[in-house]
């Protein structure tokens, strides 16, 4: 029969550590600043974390196959950059411009996928290369300028449906759709199968290459969606758009339980928990009046702890015995 996992403090902390940390942070911040634990602030936190949450969702499948994509921040900038040029200079209306942005995002993802799957280049190296080239292209196209979005789109970032910001709802829809794909479609299962090891997946008959390629396309597509939302929130695009998004996205995935070794992780609730942990800490530090220069330090510490927990979990698992018990 299935071995019942014995309860140990270590295992409990590995599984629920970040939920506990999250609760602890909320409690601490609420005590330190009464304004922190308010509905209004909660809405703002959800609003602020929407773009990164979407980027993270997009790249989640890539990580679950045991691969990596660090070009998504540049993809967001390049696709949004082309879009804004079309709107500003070709006077294209926002909706078709957005569709073109999404198509470019998917195309850039396909470029990554092609290099990884067909040319067999290591994914980290591939996306490190495109991380620079995509941003470089975008800087050429926009002349490295900060460009404001046309006025008829200016209000987009602050549209609310009921009490919620529109981008919070969009993030919600994306997450729900991804959750469905992950848990209920064959593609979702293939992603996890590939993450368990390419050799075994191939032996069993999983179309490894097609699955891998598609995860990169989706990562690019979602990066462009995140790029549009960021552009709308800020009201313009600047040369720093999307900078650092890739690492925030990967960090929040790992915090939410996605393993860099592949084959492990959930969309819901994992990504939401990860995103909330990071955003709440930042917001909390803000409320208690910490210097903004402390953020990177704290964030780095959290990422390190999350990665370490991930590697601990993997050290515990996957052992084969020669002598039966």
Contact set with another protein (CB under 8 A): 1-3, 5, 180, 184-186, 189-190, 192-193, 195-197, 200-201, 203-206, 263-264, 317-325
Contact criterion met (CB below 8 Å) for 229 and 173? no
The distance of closest approach from Cβ of residue 265 to another protein in the complex, given in angstroms and rounded to an integer, is 9
The distance of closest approach from Cβ of residue 271 to another protein in the complex, given in angstroms and rounded to an integer, is 18
The distance of closest approach from Cβ of residue 186 to another protein in the complex, given in angstroms and rounded to an integer, is 5
The distance of closest approach from Cβ of residue 79 to another protein in the complex, given in angstroms and rounded to an integer, is 28
- Residue 163: how many CB atoms within 10 A of its CB? 10
> Which of 298/312 has CB closer to another protein?
312
* Residue 14 buriedness (CB in 10 A; 0-12 / 13-18 / 19+): middle
> Which of 6/40 has CB closer to another protein?
6
Supply 250's token pair.
């990967």
With vertex at residue 76, the alpha carbon angle to CA 274 and CA 240, rounded to the nearest 5 degrees, is 90
Backbone angles phi, psi at 237, to 5 degrees: -115, 140
> Which of 90/320 has CB closer to another protein?
320
Contact criterion met (CB below 8 Å) for 105 and 48? no
The distance of closest approach from Cβ of residue 127 to another protein in the complex, given in angstroms and rounded to an integer, is 24
Tell whether the torsion through CA atoms of 182, 185, 189 and 191 is positive or negative: negative
Q: How many CA atoms lie within 13 A of 179 on its CB side?
A: 13
> Which of 25/218 has CB closer to another protein?
218
> Which of 261/287 has CB closer to another protein?
261
């Amino acid at each position: 029969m299935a071995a019942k996992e014995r309860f140990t403090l270590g295992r409990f902390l590995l599984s629920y550590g970040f939920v506990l940390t999250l609760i602890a942070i909320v409690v601490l911040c609420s005590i330190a600043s009464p304004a922190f634990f308010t509905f209004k602030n909660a809405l703002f936190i959800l609003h602020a974390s929407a773009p990164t949450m979407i980027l993270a969702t997009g790249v989640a499948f890539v990580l679950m196959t045991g691969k990596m994509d660090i070009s998504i921040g540049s993809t967001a900038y390049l696709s949004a950059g082309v879009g804004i040029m079309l709107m500003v200079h070709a006077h294209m209306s926002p909706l078709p411009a957005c569709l073109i942005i999404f198509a470019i995002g998917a195309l850039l993802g396909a470029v990554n996928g092609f290099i990884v799957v067909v040319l067999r280049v290591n994914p980290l190296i591939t996306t490190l290369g495109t991380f620079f080239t995509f941003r470089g292209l975008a800087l050429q196209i926009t002349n490295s300028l900060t460009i404001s979005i046309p006025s008829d789109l200016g209000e987009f970032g602050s549209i609310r449906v009921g009490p919620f910001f529109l981008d919070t709802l969009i993030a919600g829809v994306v997450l729900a759709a991804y959750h469905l794909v992950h848990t209920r479609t064959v593609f979702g299962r293939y992603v996890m199968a590939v993450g368990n090891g390419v050799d075994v997946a191939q032996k069993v008959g999983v179309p490894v290459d097609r699955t891998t390629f598609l995860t990169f396309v989706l990562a690019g597509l979602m990066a462009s969606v995140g790029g549009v939302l960021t552009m709308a929130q800020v009201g313009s695009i600047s040369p720093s758009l999307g900078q650092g998004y890739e690492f925030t996205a990967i960090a929040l995935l790992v915090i939410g339980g996605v393993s860099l070794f592949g084959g492990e992780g959930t969309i819901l609730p994992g990504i939401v928990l990860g995103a909330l942990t990071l955003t709440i800490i930042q917001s909390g530090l803000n409320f208690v009046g910490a210097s903004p220069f402390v953020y990177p330090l704290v964030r780095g510490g959290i990422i390190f702890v999350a990665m370490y927990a991930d590697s601990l979990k993997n050290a515990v698992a996957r052992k084969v015995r020669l002598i039966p018990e």
